[in-house]
Structure 1
C-alpha cells in the first residue's frame, strides 16, 4: 500500500469520524469534474477508497499498522540542479557522477512523471534533482 489516506483527505491521524466525513466531502467536491476540469476519475476513486478505509474502525487500524511498517522514503544526500547534469540528447537522459564512481540518471519521461529522487547506479545514495517542466 503506497497511499496515505490521511494525507489524501487532508486530516490528522487523530481525526474523529466526523472530521473524516467532512474531509471526504470537501475532497470529493474539490475533485468533482464540474468544479475542477482537470480532475480525473481515479482521483475520485482514491478519495472514495480513503473514506471506506478511514470510516471503518477495523480497516483504519489495519491501515495505521501497514503505514507504521512501511520503510521510510530515502533521504536525499544532496540537492542537485538539472543544470549540473550532463545531457545525453540521443537517449533523452541526463547523468551526474556520484562520489562512489557510479552515476545518477534521469530521463525526460521520469521528469514528466514528477520524479525528483534519483538513486545512484552503484551505491545506496539518493539525490534530489531540481528542475521545472516548461510547457511549449
Structure 2
C-alpha cells in the first residue's frame, strides 16, 4: 500500500459533509452539490489559506476521489461500513448487538482474496463490483490516472464480489489503530457482504 499524503481524514471531510451515521440521510443530490462546492473551494483561482500546506491539486484529487466513492450507493455502503467499524469501534447500535452479529465471522487472509488495480479515471469501483471493469494497459502511461487496489471475495449468498476491501480502507483501519495505541503493521478488518447480512474478518500484514 502506498504512503501518499492525505489532506482529509475521510471522504466526507473532503466534501465538507458529516461522517456516518450523521450523513446517513444525505442524498446523492446533496453529495453532488457538496462535490461542486468543494471543487470551487479548492480551485487554484479561488483557493486561499490551503490546509496544512497542501497544494490545490492535492486537495482537488482528494475531492474527486471522495466523490468517486460516495456518489455510488453501493461503494458508499462499503466505505461507510468500514468507516463506522474502525473509527467508532462498532456499527450503529450497541456494541453487544454488533458482537453478536459478528462473533461467528470467518477469518480469511487478504492474500487469499482476488486482487486487482482499478483506474478510477477510466473505471469505477462500482463497475468492478458489477463485473464490467478491467485493468487498462493504456492507463499505465497516463499520468492523470489514479489507481486503487481492490480485493474481493464471493459470498455464500451468491454475490460473486460480496466482500470488498480497498487499500484506502486498510490504511484507515491502521490509522484508527494507531490513534488508539494499537498495531500499525497489520490487523483484522470486519467486512459485511454488500448483498446480505454475512460478515468476514480479513486478516492482513504489511509487507516490508
Normalising by the smaller structure, the TM-score range is 0.3 to 0.5
Structure with the greater alpha carbon radius of gyration: 1
Q: TM-score, normalised by structure 1?
A: 0.48
